[in-house]
Amino acid sequence: MALLAPAFTESLDVVSVSAMVRRLLGLGAVALVSLSGCGGVHYAVNANGAASRLEEAKQLGAEQLAPYEYYYAKANLEQAQIEASEASYSDAANFAETAEEFASKAVEISKSSKKGGQAPESKE
């Protein structure tokens, strides 16, 4: 009986390793499918933030007070929407992020101008 035990243990180890590999591959596939859906969520969050900041900038008069920043943000948000419609969510998220950045600059410049101060220099 002692002679059969090592053979039984070896076959059990091979089965265990093979089952573990199948489980890991299954988990990897699930993770891959899950991650592929995250791009749309990331884009949506960035686009909503950019749209809100762009609207705030417009309310503050950024079209006249910070035209470069305002229209650059607007163009990037529009491009983000185009990319998202083509399911290029990574590109869409990047454009939306740039849109939010420039919309925030437009808000800052507009607020500064409304307070009677000098508008900050654009770094672009």
Mean pLDDT of the 55-76 span: 97
What is the spatial distance between Cα 1 and Cα 50, in angstroms, rounded to a whole number?
73
100 near 69, Cβ under 8 Å? no
- Using CB atoms within 10 Å of the CB of residue 105, give its burial: 0 to 12 exposed, 13 to 18 middle, 19+ buried: buried
Question: What's the predicted TM-score (pTM) here?
Answer: 0.64
Q: Is 31 in the same domain as 85?
A: no
Domain count, the chain: 2
Q: Is 71 in the same domain as 56?
A: yes
Range of the domain at 16: 1-36
Q: Is 61 in the same domain as 99?
A: yes
88 pLDDT more than 50: yes
Q: Is 21 in the same domain as 61?
A: no
Q: Is 109 in the same domain as 120?
A: yes
Q: Is 1 in the same domain as 59?
A: no
115 pLDDT more than 50: yes
39 pLDDT more than 80: no
Q: Is 23 in the same domain as 56?
A: no
113 near 119, Cβ under 8 Å? yes
Mapped onto helix, strand or coil, the DSSP state of residue 60 is coil
